[in-house]
Amino acid sequence: MPRAVAINVAANTNLPGRRGPVYPDGSFVYVPIPEREPTAEAIPTYADLDLAAHVPDDAVDSPVHLDPEFAGTLGREAYTYGDPHGVKAGPLSRLDSGDWLLFYATLTVRDGDDDHGIADDDHGIADDDRADGHRADGADRADWLPPEWGCFLIGEFRVAEVLTGDEYREADAATRERFASNAHVRRDSFDAAALVRGDSGGSRLFDRAVPLSTPAAGADANRLVTELSNDSGNGPWWRRVLRYDADATATLRDRIDTDPDGCPT
């Protein structure tokens, strides 16, 4: 039976200095972190990807680290993810074909008529500036949203292939080609300790965020963390790798699949 691993990705208050937004109906904008290493060729900036409204002024012209990449989103055509850090690469390298790699992010809750504490020097993003072109004006606020920010599942890969960094370096041309668009492969110096490719038939960026935080506070983990994963939910759990055994994964998948968009009910 499939197992699952969930890892933290996307923009945060350190990189590039602001979280992506989640809206009253549970829709959100996927904002990757900036690229911090030299790349073999030019890569798009936040401005190029129409994400300038969701990052600080000093990041608008920064190149974007498009990892994970979701086909059909931000100009990407594949589902790949790479990580150079052992704390994530270890669990990733133990995934098998058919297992699930879940991605979660911390997101700032945005109401249609309220900036929820976003300061003027953070631009006070207007709802009609959303990168996906949808407005939240007048939308009913989901009762599962925390007050200011929270942690949410935003997408998933059904694992098709996993390589360690050494396996990639020794791989044949056909194998390397399947990962050619990954951000770590596109760096001047390949540095991923693990690479994961998602099955195109079972991988997606969600249309609606699935909460891992309780409605009370973003720092409070809900039962998807405390009862199903290996994590206690104590301390900064939203920065840690969450592991789900086969039984927990079946329950988690039922929760995600309750709605075809990944939106909880």
At 142 the pLDDT is 83
Amino acid at 68: P
Residue 83 backbone dihedrals phi, psi, to 5 degrees: -145, 135
Give yes or no for a contact between 49 and 76, defined as CB atoms under 8 angstroms apart: no
Residues near 172 by Cβ (< 8 Å), separated by ≥ 6?
none
- Best CA proximity match to 225, nearest among 113, 150, 162: 150
- Best CA proximity match to 105, nearest among 155, 165, 161: 155
Q: Where are the alpha helices (DSSP H) in the chain?
A: 86-93, 165-169, 173-178, 223-226, 246-256
Q: What is the pTM of this model?
A: 0.89
At 112 the pLDDT is 58
Annotate 120-145 with DSSP letters as a single string: GGGT---GGG-TT----TTPPPPTT-
Residues near 118 by Cβ (< 8 Å), separated by ≥ 6?
108, 110, 124, 125
- Reported as a single tens digit per residue, the pLDDT across 28-60 is 999 999 999 999 999 999 999 999 999 999 999
DSSP conformation class of 60? T
Q: What angle do CA 122, 128, 130 make, to 5 degrees?
A: 65
At 258 the pLDDT is 79
* Cα 59 from Cα 14, distance rounded (Å): 12
Give yes or no for a contact between 213 and 144, defined as CB atoms under 8 angstroms apart: no
Cα pseudo-dihedral 92, 81, 45, 200, rounded to 10: -150
Paired residues of 242 in beta bridges: 6
Burial of 260: CB neighbours in 10 Å, binned 0-12, 13-18, 19+? exposed
Residues near 154 by Cβ (< 8 Å), separated by ≥ 6?
9, 10, 28, 30, 103, 104, 105, 107, 205, 206, 209, 210
**Domain boundaries of the chain, sorted by first residue:** 4-256
Question: What stretches in the chain show pLDDT beneath 70?
Answer: 112-139, 259-265
At 118 the pLDDT is 35
